[in-house]
Structure 1
């Protein structure tokens, strides 16, 4: 073998300095190197199996049982189906992706922890993200039928506010709606950046839902803060100008009590997927949207399985950039105002 090639292989640690230059010795050293790499992967997986439930959850933000359930769902999408270099095990790919989602570590730190190259870690995160994103329609569903009735009962029992089918919230790059159990029923992340809530709302599917009475059985509604426009199916609080009467204050109190679920939902989501606490270090908007939706799907899976996590305390709901009228124009305005006043008069006072 050429001495120049031998020098390159030695500098890259493929062969030792003491190895001879013969082809046979080089091939033996290379096989040993590959075996050692496989042993490191196996040993790492064995270490994960020896984690206690508490330690595993503190690292990956979910229990071992939920991890195995998620792996079973997406396992086939993480296996290479064409000829080429073998990929790292599906289990390790999921661990890398969860570590990226659940921490604010850089890829450099993740590569060092999992003993993989940057390209391998990046592909693992993208592959897992896409696999989870493909299951979003299965785990993120708008409530209908008996489930819608259950959601309305849950909100009314918790807050006294009637016929609530969900609460809507906008936080930086994510707009979501959740039910009384903090289960996400709709999410929209296609408009990243600092944009007013109402503008993002107009771009989302929920703006079309408001004109579809089938989405809101028994004249139900979602609840939003004062940044949204009042609508027959989207009720907002009365703007506090210092002159609200007792009934209006009571309405705002019940309204806020019902919307606590969406604040808790955001806190749970960001407590589990801590990479969402700040702006994502991603340049491709399409991949960013997939990543955020995948985090929401994982949140729903954990919620459905009762896999709890600590809540991140968020600032109180903002009511900045509130319009003076905060209502839609005719003809919806009169209907929405009448409905809000009717609910205000029917609420039990504190």
Structure 2
């Protein structure tokens, strides 16, 4: 390395010193050299121009070569001592890492040996990979910093003495229903303990998800309630919702079989007098934060006009039976789509076009088109008494679906607020809410009257309201039967 502040050339390296005689080096050095002045103090004889022979018995000063050899020997000895010290320190640490816990040397003894025998600095010893391996191998001595969070609220809710009413108010279901859900999801949700921390119990994992869906509170509040990190709570919500979709949806949300279908038809006929009704269809919107892409697709014009505030939403289309239990859902389409457009993108529409639903009716509101398997009310003005009678009975069937969606959004209040869930993860959360709604309805878990609210209809009459002439004739026959067989009410009068 060249130093520009010195006018004279720099001194040679150690390799050059060993290959050059001291006399040649000193004779070639500049008088201003620092190394030259250093050796000048120790060997004045070598500086004289007239070299004389030394007498054997005459005491002389040490030569330059002897000094250089002495320095090199001292440096080699020092390096050798350091290497020996490192080998002596590394051996016990590696030994303790490979031994069993019963024969493992304690950390205090290993660290004591490192301090007394190793010539390395303290920081170098602490950061050495061998000491880190020792600390990782000795699990009893390894300490991991974890922020202390209070779990008192969850511990109180999880205790057997916690009141049933308070538990249902917090989780929208009874303790028995909550236990059933935990048992169904245990094989999927359970995690194993690690050397660093204990796994979160299944009941706490499920409780985090259900409480988040039931209240819609921010993740910060969920973290305070359950004593977990914010990111951990967000991860648990998505994991449990995914488990509900994969495990519970095939059991609690499916199209009814023949026996169940006969029961549904009989119940709907008792409600409205219309035969062969297999379900009631409805579409609602869930508000979301404005997405970064395709903003115009998720813009909800009807909500914006009603609330006088820019709104974005995502759709949830569902078919319910006579008890308000979902038998088919279609979630995830942008809020700018009308009801008939969402229906055309659903799997239910594909089944209907294949002729699977030709012998049944799915009753919808004026936002759906009239088809061979979809029955909707009359939308033209100046209706006859027969047409009014049909609209009244169709409205009674339609109210079953509207009431089911009201209970869905009332029970899981996260559907009423702009959620923090990413747009790509939102269909999983919405599907989980529908499955949990079915479980609560099947187990007769009612909702508190204070949770009820009014659900607005944002239906838009499609451009082509009639898709089948056969369906048009069938609807007229149904209306005639209702009026002339005294099955229609008189509220329309």
Give the TM-score normalised by the residue count of structure 1.
0.83
* Contact 1:231/1:336 (<8 A) preserved: yes
| Separation (CA, whole Å) in 2 of partners of 1:53 and 1:225 | 39
Q: Tell me the CA shift for residue 302 of structure 1.
A: 0.9
Task: Assess, with a 3 A threshold, how the Cα gap between structure 1 residues 141 and 220 changes in structure 2: closer, same or farther.
Answer: same
Q: Deviations over 1:290-330 (max 9, x none)?
A: 1000010001111111111136333353333x1355111xx
| Equivalent-residue separation in structure 2 for 1:126 and 1:97 (angstroms) | 8
Specify the SS of the correspondent of 2:353: coil
Residues 174 and 192 in structure 1, CA contact (< 8 A), matched pair in contact too: no
Give the alignment partner of residue 170 of structure 2, picking from 44, 48, 59: 59
Asked if 1:245 is matched to 2:384, the reply is yes
Paired residue total: 316
Cα distance in 2 between the residues matched to 1:37 and 1:335: 69
Give the alignment of 1:1-350 within 5 angstroms: 41=151, 44-49=154-159, 50-80=161-191, 85-134=197-246, 135-172=248-285, 173-216=315-358, 219-241=359-381, 243-285=382-424, 287-310=425-448, 312-320=452-460, 322-323=461-462, 325-328=464-467, 333-347=468-482, 348-350=487-489
Q: Is the 8 A contact 2:402 2:455 kept in 1?
A: no
Verify the 8 A CA contact 1:183 1:300 in the aligned structure 2.
yes
CA distance in 2, matches of 1:264, 1:252: 18
Instruction: State the Cα deviation string for residues 67-101 of structure 1 (Å, max 9, x = none).
Output: 00111100121112596754311111111111110
RMSD: 2.6
Aligned equivalents of 1:295, 1:121: Cα separation in 2: 17
Cα distance change, pair 82–91 in 1 and its aligned pair in 2 (3 A):
closer
The equivalent residue for 1:23 is: none
Structure 1: unaligned runs, 5 residues or longer: 4-26
Contact 1:100-1:110 at 8 Å conserved across structures? yes
Over residues 207-252 of structure 1, what are the superposed CA-to-partner deviations in whole Å (9 max), with x where a residue is unaligned? 1121233345xx21101111111001001100141x1000000000
Do the aligned partners of 2:216 and 2:412 also contact (CA within 8 Å) in 1? no
CA positional deviation for 1:28:
8.3
Q: Runs of at least 4 residues of structure 1 off by over 4 A?
A: 27-31, 40-43, 81-85
Q: Deviations over 1:84-130 (max 9, x none)?
A: 75431111111111111001210111111211111211111111111
Q: Is the 8 A contact 1:179 1:185 kept in 2?
A: yes
Q: Which has the larger radius of gyration?
A: 2
2:119 alignment counterpart: none
CA distance in 2, matches of 1:349, 1:47: 50
Q: Distance in 2 between matches of 1:324 and 1:190?
A: 23
Tell me: higher relative CO, structure 1 or 2? Use CA pairs within 8 A at least 6 residues apart.
Answer: 1
- Aligned 8 A contact 2:393 2:488 in 1: no
The alpha carbon displacement at 1:66 in A equals 0.5
Distance 1:201 1:83 in 2: 48
Q: 1:194 to 1:82 in 2, by over 3 A?
A: farther
Distance 1:104 1:200 in 2: 26
Corresponding position of 1:9: none
Q: Is the 2:406–2:452 Cα contact (8 Å) retained in structure 1?
A: yes
Matches of 1:43 and 1:58, distance apart in 2: 14
- Report the 3-state secondary structure (helix = DSSP H, G, I; strand = E; otherwise coil) of the residue aligned with 2:333: coil
1:142-161 deviations in Å (ceiling 9; x for gaps)? 12311111001111111222
Task: Label 1:179 to 1:59 Cα distance change in 2 as closer, same or farther (>3 A).
Answer: same
**1-side partners of 2:380 and 2:473: how far apart?**
19
Determine if contact 1:104/1:274 at 8 Å carries over to the other structure.
yes
Distance 1:169 1:70 in 2: 27
Q: Shift of residue 278 of structure 1? A: 2.8
- Measure the CA separation in 2 of the matches of 1:244 and 1:47: 57
Aligned partners of 2:156 and 2:162 also within 8 Å = no
Residue aligned with 1:136, SS: helix
